[in-house]
A and B are shown apart, each in its own frame.
Chain A
Amino acid sequence: DTEVTQTPKHLVMGMTNKKSLKCEQHMGHRAMYWYKQKAKKPPELMFVYSYEKLSINESVPSRFSPECPNSSLLNLHLHALQPEDSALYLCASSQVLGNQPQHFGDGTRLSIL
C-alpha cells in the first residue's frame, strides 16, 4: 500500500471541462511533486512544492495549475486540456528538497477526449 494517496484513479474529461487531481500524504513530508508519465517513458517533472511554496515549474502550460493548500495536500487543477495531455499523472513527496528518496502515489490515469 502506498503512503501517498491520489484521487481519482481514472479520469476521462473533454477538452472544455475543468477538473482537479488530488494528492495527500501524512508522512510529514515538506516537499511534494507532480509528474507526468507517458506510456513506456520515465516520469517528467512538472512542479515542485517546498514548504507549501512553488519551488520549480518546469515550463508547464498554464492549462495545468498546481495548488498546495497545506503541507499534506497537493492539487492539480486542469482546464482546457488537449488530447496530448492524456497520461498518468503521478504525485510524489519527500522529507525535504535535496538528495532524499521520493515516495510516489499510484497516479491518476487521465484521458482527454
Chain B
Amino acid sequence: GNSVTQMEGPVTLSEEAFLTINCTYTATGYPSLFWYVQYPGEGLQLLLKATKADDKGSNKGFEATYRKETTSFHLEKGSVQVSDSAVYFCALTPNTGNQFYFGTGTSLTVIP
C-alpha cells in the first residue's frame, strides 16, 4: 500500500536555526513526492516537489531530496525565519494512482 510517515511535532526553533523534518514513505512503483505548507487560516501551498529518485526539490530556501534507497524525502532549511512558522505536510502520489497520501503534518514554530 501507499503511506507517508512524518516526524511528530510540534517543533520549536530559534530564528536562524537549521531545520529538518523527516518524511519516509511506502509506495508501489515510483511515486512523486511533495512538501506542502499551511499557514494559519489558509489552504495548503505547494512548497516543493520531486518526481524521480535523486531529484532535489527546492524553493524559498527549503530543500528535499528523493532518496529511493531509504524511501525518504526529508525537508531541510539552513536558517529558519519567524515567517516559516506553519504546518508542513509531506505527501506522495503513486505514478499510477489518482490519490494523494498525506503525512500527519508537522507544526513548526520559530521564535525570535
Q: Which residues of A contact B (CB under 8 A)?
A: 2, 4, 6, 31, 40-43, 45, 48, 50, 55-56, 90, 92, 97-107
Contact = CB atoms under 8 A, between A and B. Distances in A.
A2 B97 CA distance: 25
B98 A43 contact: no
A40 B105 contact: yes
| 9 smallest beta-carbon distances between A and B, as pairs | A42-B102, A99-B32, A104-B43, A104-B44, A97-B98, A106-B43, A99-B93, A107-B43, A99-B95
A101 B48 CA distance: 9
B99 interface: yes
Interface residues of B, number: 27
Nearest to A98: B98
B82 interface: no
Interface of B: 31-32, 34, 36, 41-46, 49, 51, 87, 89, 93-100, 102-105, 107
Given A100-B93, A101-B34, A101-B49, A45 B99 contact: yes
Given A50-B98, A92-B44, 11 more contacts: A31-B98, A40-B107, A42-B103, A48-B98, A98-B97, A100-B93, A101-B46, A103-B46, A104-B36, A104-B43, A107-B42
A56 B99 contact: yes
Contacts of B93: 98-100
A31 B36 CA distance: 19
B16 to A, nearest CB: 27
A60 B34 CA distance: 26
A2 B43 contact: yes
Nearest to B107: A40
Given A40-B105, A45-B100, A56-B98, A99 B31 contact: yes
Contacts of A45: 99-100
